[in-house]
Amino acid sequence: MFKKSPLINSIFFLFISITALITSCGSDDGDIETKDSIDPTIACVSDVNITVDAVSNGTEVTYNEPVGSDNLPGAVTTQTEGLASGEIFPVGTTTNTFQVKDAAGNTASCSFVVTVTRSTPSLDAPYFIGTDPKPSGKTWHKVENLSDEFDDDSFDESKWLNTDPRRWIGRAPGIFKENTVTETGGNLKLTAYKLDTPEVVNGNTFTHAGSYIGSKEAAQVGYYFECRMKANKTFMSSTFWLINHRGDGTGCDRRVTELDIQECVGQITTTAGWAQQFDETIHSNTHSRQADCASTPTGSAGGNAEIGEKAWAGYHVYAAWWKSATEVEFYLDGKKVYTVTPKANFDLPMYLRMVVETYDWNPVPADGGMTGTEEERTTSYDWVRTWELK
């Protein structure tokens, strides 16, 4: 009988062991990992450019949100920068970035820009949104002596009075001071402050400084008046209005007529219910008072409309069309908000006023009311424009 040698036996067993090892390593596919080295892909929409009206702070923007793709399931897309579709995008530039990440951790991203730009009111016509209400065949012409862009850093004394002590020094406790008025940065700025020492004038005690700007030229029936203004944030007023000189009238026309386009305050200190929205509305009035003749009607008629934010939060265009002796139309940010019929004919020449004053119905707060920054104490007029039809 043939007998295997020990050497042959050893070689045989070694062969069997190697074969088993190779078989074992190759039989379990789960032990061999395949690396995903392919990045996902994503594509964004083109940049978005939108123009809004001259007083808007932003607008709703919708867009197609990108969704990334990958060669294998499990990719997830997220927004890493910017605002979602359907949100309010502010004036300016907003960058929106999206990233897709696959199951293996590979990423890709894309970006696009949304730019919101304010339109600029024309220098050649009043600011209207929609239809210009001027009659057919007529055009608007600027009344230069009742208009100012306030863009040369120099107060125009040929057009405006900075205080007028002969007529009005202010309502206590607010006295008009020339040093509250500056023209800088393309704005006429009226900055209220608390006096270092109270002043007593004609028996009245004054503790705060306000501003009085009056036109030297009178306005006429038919004129359209507008200003772009940001109110101060104090208990004192921010205003744009007209009034006549009582002494200019004769006979039964001797009276005071006043056209208030906008009167508001930045801080409400009164508890009176009727005044609780004085910091977020356009508040207008027509007044006829102090008539020499009992037959001359007197009284007030006006209106209110919500601004949509606090009056001190941003610039707004306040306007009125003194359309006729019996009709005044009021506009907010280019849109007509109401029409007022004065209690008496409005046909006397009146002068423009931009005034920061104290109201007896909105008293000084306990802290003095001047704790804010200089900007918060300032009423800013970007421009004033007056128009006539020809």
What whole-number distance in Å separates Cα of residue 330 and Cα of residue 173? Answer: 30
User: What DSSP state is assigned to residue 329?
Assistant: E
DSSP code string of 76-141: EEEEEES--TTSEEESEEEEEEEEEE-TTS-EEEEEEEEEEEE----TTS---SS---PPTT--EE
- What pLDDT band is residue 24 in, cutting at 50, 70 and 90? very low
Q: Is the pLDDT of residue 206 over 80?
A: yes
pLDDT of residue 345: 94
pLDDT (average), residues 370-374: 97
Q: Is residue 317 a contact partner of residue 331, using CB atoms and an 8 Å limit?
A: yes
Q: Using DSSP, state whether 19 is helix, strand or coil.
A: helix
| CA dihedral sign of residues 118, 119, 123, 127 | negative
- What pLDDT band is residue 105 in, cutting at 50, 70 and 90? very high
- What pLDDT band is residue 248 in, cutting at 50, 70 and 90? confident
All domains of the chain in start order, with CATH? 48-118 (2.60.40), 140-389 (2.60.120.200)
pTM (predicted TM-score): 0.79
pLDDT of residue 249: 85
263 catalytic? Reply is yes
pLDDT digits (tens, 9 = 90+) for 262-301: 999 999 999 999 999 999 999 999 999 999 999 999 999 9
- Are β-strands 256-265 and 187-191 bridged in parallel, bridged antiparallel, or unpaired? unpaired
pLDDT digits (tens, 9 = 90+) for 308-347: 999 999 999 999 999 999 999 999 999 999 999 999 999 9
DSSP-based helix, strand, coil % in the chain, nearest 5: 10, 45, 45
258 catalytic? Reply is yes
What whole-number distance in Å separates Cα of residue 325 and Cα of residue 158? Answer: 29
Catalytic member of 81, 87, 149, 263: 263
Which string of b and e fits 77-106 if b means at least 16 CB within 10 Å?
A: beeeebbeeeeebeeeebebebbbbbeeeb
pLDDT of residue 46: 97
In the block, tokens 């306005």 appear at: 219
Catalytic member of 258, 280, 327, 357: 258
pLDDT of residue 235: 98
- What pLDDT band is residue 377 in, cutting at 50, 70 and 90? very high
Q: Is the pLDDT of residue 304 over 70?
A: yes
